[in-house]
Amino acid sequence: MAPLLILVNIIFMLALIVGLYALQKKHVSFSKRVFIALGAGIIFGLVLHSAYGKSDALKTSIDWFNIVGNGYVKLLQMVVMPLVFVSIVSAFTKMKLTQNIGKISTLVIALLVGTTAVSAAVGITSAYTFNLQAGQITQGDTETARADALVKKMEGIQDMTFPQKVVELLPANPFQDFTGERATSTIAVVIFAGFIGLAYLGVKRKNAEQAALFASMIDSLYAIVMRVVTIILRLTPYGILAIMTRVAATSDYNAIWNLGKFVIASYVALIVVFIIHLLLLTLAGLNPVTYVKKSLPVLTFAFTSRTSAGALPLNVKTQKSLGVPEGIANFAGSLGLSIGQNGCAGVYPAMLAIMIAPTAGIDPFTPTFILTVIAVVAISSFGVAGVGGGATFAALLVLSTLNLPVGLAGLLISVEPLIDMGRTALNVSGSMTTGILTSKATKELDTAAFHENNEQAVEA
């Protein structure tokens, strides 16, 4: 009976995929197809959860669905490192950008880190408002196992001084970092690309002919990589359908109910920070409603896939549709993968620090401790990987720096996926907001393109 049920589930998923393809053929907008896929995935997932619970039939069905969902994410991850590298280098080869490269880099990093510090303050406020404490959570076998794993993970970096952690960001072997081997691989590739870009500027002053040849090669490589990105992005509705089906079908709703206060507090903080993004855009004289409309597809993907790095191609495309020059979009998107992630490196570690501090006999709401947490969170946001687990890495860095028990970072393991969805979407919003504000500050934002109704831009 089970094989027949699995076959029925697979056929139904295929029918939904065919339905999405039919909508594409009818030229239904990209945004609408993304949200139709999101809704269909949630409904289908809830039906499967209700019908099968945690049965083997459901697990096997999800394995088949993952060919589409996880396969899509892997294709995006495949192109992330090449895209990060070629995006940063191509930013240097574009004459208009190189004249402002110092100002642009400073603005991007300042905005990413500054909004992360604000996010930490919002996280602290939410923890205080909801009276979150680590002692309120019952530690079962899952939480204990997670705590042990985190303690082991921390053994390699807990004894490192801050200067040593800074050195760890540097690319000793850039080819190794292109594989994503280290948690700090993304920022290492950014740094390596930065050196290549600076070298290009030096060669350009001394040998314009060689520099022009290199720039032409990079432009060609960038065009090819972006074409690969476009091909993959066309699969977005199908990937979101499969991913959301899995999430809805396999979520632990009892754990979500039991830890409801922590989930609500997290999402309140994430929503407040997103509103702050919209306020910053409003203060810059831009329509936040337009930003929301155009950014919804990429935010939806980030929410469902839980990977900021995987969302990079769609992030850059969306920024360009919002009038951000290609060079700045590449800078903000790429740097946003490893610096100043508002959700994973801002809200989350700050909330954990406030929750865990009382277990170490520390009053978490003294001004000194609050300011210390905000400063540590902002500094530790450098090098956080834009993939699943980045928030845990950030939390470990913050808790170890504050001399708090790192094992308690595993207390929310049962609801971690649900919270991580919102955190990832906020990360992506933070990098896009940074790109827009940087473009506005340098007077390079195409405001006509920002307000233009071009929903199909991401599929061009």
pLDDT digits (tens, 9 = 90+) for 157-180: 556 666 776 777 788 888 888 887
pLDDT single digits (tens) 217-235:
998 998 898 888 888 888 8
pLDDT digits (tens, 9 = 90+) for 398-429: 877 788 877 666 666 667 778 888 999 999 99
Q: Angle CA(100)–CA(102)–CA(104) in degrees, nearest 5?
A: 65
Show the DSSP H helices in 259-366 as ranges: 260-283, 288-305, 312-321, 326-335, 348-356
Per-residue pLDDT tens over the stretch 33-57: 888 998 999 999 999 999 888 888 8
- Which tokens sit at 148? 């042990």
387 secondary structure, DSSP code: S
**Residue 335 scores a pLDDT above 90:** no
Question: Cβ(214)–Cβ(54) under 8 Å?
Answer: no
Packing angle between helix 141-154 and helix 390-401, nearest 10 degrees? 70
Q: Distances in Å between the alpha carbon of 189 and those of 173, 196, 207, 309?
A: 10, 11, 26, 13
User: Could you tell me how many residues make up the chain?
Assistant: 460
Q: What is the DSSP letter of 455?
A: G
Question: Which pLDDT tens digit goes with each residue over 54-101?
Answer: 888 889 999 999 999 999 888 888 888 888 888 888 878 875 555 577
Nearest of 458, 413, 202 to residue 321 by alpha carbon: 458
Helix then strand then coil, % of the chain, to nearest 5? 80, 0, 20
Burial string for 113-124 (b: 16+ CB within 10 Å, else e) reads: bebbbbbbbbbb
Structural domains present in the chain: 81-234+251-459 (1.10.3860.10)
Cβ atoms 316, 230 nearer than 8 A: no
Question: Cα–Cα distance between 111 and 123 in angstroms, integer?
Answer: 18
Give the model confidence (pLDDT) of 190-210 as tens digits: 889 889 988 998 898 888 889
Tell me the whole-structure pTM to 2 decimals: 0.80
Amino acid at 57: A
| pLDDT at residue 283 greater than cutoff 90 | yes
Q: Max CA-CA distance within the chain?
A: 74
pLDDT in tens, 369-403: 999 999 988 887 776 554 445 667 777 778 777 88
CA–CA gap between residue 235 and residue 34 (Å, rounded): 10
CA distance 83 to 193: 11
